[in-house]
Amino acid sequence: MKIIVIGAVAAGTSAAAKARRNSEDAQITIYEKDSYISYSGCGMPYFLSKAVATAEELAPRDPAFFRSKYNIEIKTRHEVLSINPDEKTILVKNLATDHVFPDSYDTLILAIGARAVTPPIPGREGAHVFTLRNINDMLAIHSFLEEKRPKSAAIIGTGFIGLEMCESLVRLGVSVTLLEKLPQVTPGLDPDMAVYVEAHLKKNGIAVKTGVSIASIEATSVVLADGTTVPAELVLLSTGVRPNSELALAAGVTLGASGAILVNERMETNQPGIFACGDCIEEFHIVTGKQVYRPLGSTANKTGRIAGDCATGGNLAYRGTLGTGIFRVLGLTVGQTGLTEREAREAGYDAAICHSTKPDRPEYFGGKEMVIKAVADRETGRLLGAQIVGEAGVDKRIDVFATAITYGAKVEDLFYLDLAYAPPFSTTKDPVLYTGMILENAIHGGRPLMTAQELLARTEAGEPVTIIDTRAPAQYEKAHVEGAISIPLSELRAAIESLDKDAVTVTYCNKGVTGNAAQNILLLNGFKHVYNLSGGMNQYRMVKNSRKR
């Protein structure tokens, strides 16, 4: 059996290695047009910030390693120009010699990846303008930083790579401006969680401009559409990636709506004998079952292994993606898994939302607060997604949520999880358990929540709402929800007779716990329409302030 793999980064090398584990007899060849193989693309920003000492640490394996360990031949600087699926042949160009030659296959695995999107901005060809997609990009940026010592940089786009590079450049003493065409940073988050990221960036001295368009890139600046000039001796384009699917399309391989290759759960394309994996394919979402494009290193390795297994007669099958991701920027960790609120509503779910602010471990052990937003289906109680922003403990919780969603957990199931507890690691009731309690109360326990956006929409529309601030009077005087009345929790029972039991009533405190206690009191005393403000005053303040910009 002759197996040819096109692409030698995460997916391609994983596919080839798994194929070899399944078959000692197969002849396996990988063609890679780049010079570097099997590297950690996600580690590149940390090399640039000198957190990783050498580039070799990100690319520790070379063709000799794969030849010695797996008996796999990797030919770098070889570009596959075309595929003929009828004859099962490919046309290859040796980029070092320009020699073009054919090769044949019994099974072909496409691991051709994706490339950085470069918007058509005048000046994008400048020597100080970069993308960061591969090791060559990284080395070019590194050389520029070492030789030119730029003092200012503009990063266009605020996804994972953009914000990780923001941290790297700041650590090198570069003044950074973030430019985003959307009205929020971190497009993968809901706006009411993105506000925490933007506030943190600004607190750390990062200039952030959202809702902007770029007119041109100049030698030492970026010019916005409104004429504003942003100093930028270095410019990074971080505006997403596009699948390298042209080679497949020319060979008659079917593409999905995103332009990525369409595969089944065995990584098979519509063309017999041709598999595909990694950043060039569409996957299906675990929650919705619909096709999505989520190019992630972890997914590339997973789909590569499945492709290599199935190409050699195995039975592995892909089980879907949640798009789980995490990144760190200037001490803040941001994690996300499953559906956002927007995605849930677009998919037709009656979404129940909660915001919870809890420490990752007890305060006496140095606990740091994290904000958790969870999304559930009100009809079934199924957990649909979660987003977390915090300084510590985010990785542990987002992985628990991802596991729970993968196995179809309902919100009430979260409370019963037997999670590890000791003061150095967690609170007695872990933030994951609290999230389940809050959502279970909201969906099944008659303790509904109202988000800050919903409350603002009601009050701005002039709808009558009784809003009760249950905090201490001094906190109320310092800041409160517009239109709220001050009734501390200890005085609420005495004030019940003065309140309208038929009115829509919203209770709140700083984070939600005391507001929930007040909600319980009112409901047990015959009030019919009582909501607790999700996330309390803290969440309301963040959302309200973001609307003032």
CA angle at residue 277 from 276 to 283, to 5 degrees? 105
- Measured between alpha carbons, how far is 109 from 307 in angstroms, rounded to an integer? 7
- Measured between alpha carbons, how far is 353 from 453 in angstroms, rounded to an integer? 11
Question: Which of 42, 277, 310, 354 is the catalytic position?
Answer: 42
- Neighbouring C-beta atoms of residue 297, cutoff 10 Å: 16
End-to-end CA, the chain: 62
Q: Are 237 and 124 in contact (CB under 8 A)?
A: yes
Cβ partners under 8 Å of residue 214, min gap 6:
119, 121, 156, 179, 222, 223, 224, 225
CA angle at residue 45 from 40 to 46, to 5 degrees? 85
Helix (H) or strand (E) holding 533: strand 529-533
Q: Are 243 and 259 in contact (CB under 8 A)?
A: yes
CA angle at residue 163 from 50 to 219, to 5 degrees? 80
Q: Supply 161's token pair.
A: 């790579």
DSSP letters spanning 288-319 = T--EE----HHHHHHHHHHHHHHHTT------
Cβ partners under 8 Å of residue 350, min gap 6:
377, 378, 379
Q: Name the phi and psi angles at 455, rounded to 5.
A: -65, -45
- Measured between alpha carbons, how far is 126 from 117 in angstroms, rounded to an integer? 16
Can you give the C-alpha Rg of the chain in angstroms?
27
Which residues in 70-137 belong to E strands, given as ranges? 73-76, 78-84, 89-94, 100-104, 107-110, 114-116, 129-130
Q: Name the phi and psi angles at 302, rounded to 5.
A: -65, -50
- Measured between alpha carbons, how far is 458 from 108 in angstroms, rounded to an integer? 58
- Measured between alpha carbons, how far is 334 from 395 in angstroms, rounded to an integer? 9
Decide the pairing of beta strands 89-94 and 78-84. antiparallel
> Would you call 509 a catalytic residue per the annotation?
no
- Neighbouring C-beta atoms of residue 187, cutoff 10 Å: 15
Active site residues: 42
